[in-house]
Structure 1
Amino acid sequence: METLNGLLSFVLFGGVALTFVTVFGFIGFSLIKSLRTWNANNNTPLQTMEAVVVGQRLEVRGGDSRPETASHLYYVTFEVQGHARQEFGIYNGDHLWITPGDRGLLRYQGTRYQGFNRTSQA
C-alpha cells in the first residue's frame, strides 16, 4: 500500500510539475517570439510604396458573456507594387476612412502599419 501511495504522489507531483513547465514554457516562447518581431520591426527601415486597398476585416475577441468587454481588431489588406499582398492591423482609426479600391502611398515598417495617404478613392 505504501508503494501505491508513493507512486500516486510521484504521479501527482510529476503532473503538476509538467503542467507548470509547459505553461511557463509556452509563455516564455511567446514572449521571445514577440520580442524578436518587435526588434526586427525596429531594425527595418520605414518603407513607402504605392498600394491599393484590396480588403478589410474585423476580428472580435472576447465578450462572450458580456458584449461590452469585447475588443475589436481591424485589419486592412494592401496590394503593393509587384502584386504582393500585405495585411496590417490598424489601431489608429484609419480603418474608418480606408475602403477597398482606394489607391495611395502606404507607409510601413516591417509588419507595422505606419499610415496610408490616399491619392484616389474607389
Structure 2
Amino acid sequence: MPLLLIACGDSDGNRNTNNEPLDPIIGTWVLVNEKIVGGDWGNSCRGCFMENDAGSPDTFVFTSSEVTKTVWECENDGSLCTELTVYGPGNWENIGSNIYEIEGEPLQVTFIGNNQMQTPFEDGDIVQTWERQ
C-alpha cells in the first residue's frame, strides 16, 4: 500500500514565525527618568518626563522592523525648550549583546526585568530610563 503524505503550510512559502520569541525591545517605551552621570549639563535642556512638564515624555516605538522616536525637550523648570521632534521611522537590527543598530548607529540597551530599559545618551553622559507601555 502506498504511503500518502500531506503537508499543510503557506502557499506563498513564507515561514511561520509565531513560535519564535519576539525581541525584547519591540513595543512602546516611554521616558521615565534621566540621570546625568558625567559632563556639565547644568543649564541644558532635558527630556520632558516629570509630572508638570510642558511637553510630553519622549517615546520609542519599536515594531518588528522599524523604530520611531518622539522627543520633547524641557528646561529644568519644566517649561518647553524644544517643540516635538519625530525621528523615523527607521530600520533597526539587534546585533547582539544588547546592542541595537538604528539607521547604522549603535544603541546599547540594558534591560531591567521585562518592563524597563536604560540607554546611554550624549556619549554616555546621561542615562535614560524607559518604561514599557
Which has more helix, going by share of residues?
A: 1
**TM-score for both structures, normalised by structure 2:** 0.23
**TM-score for both structures, normalised by structure 1:** 0.25
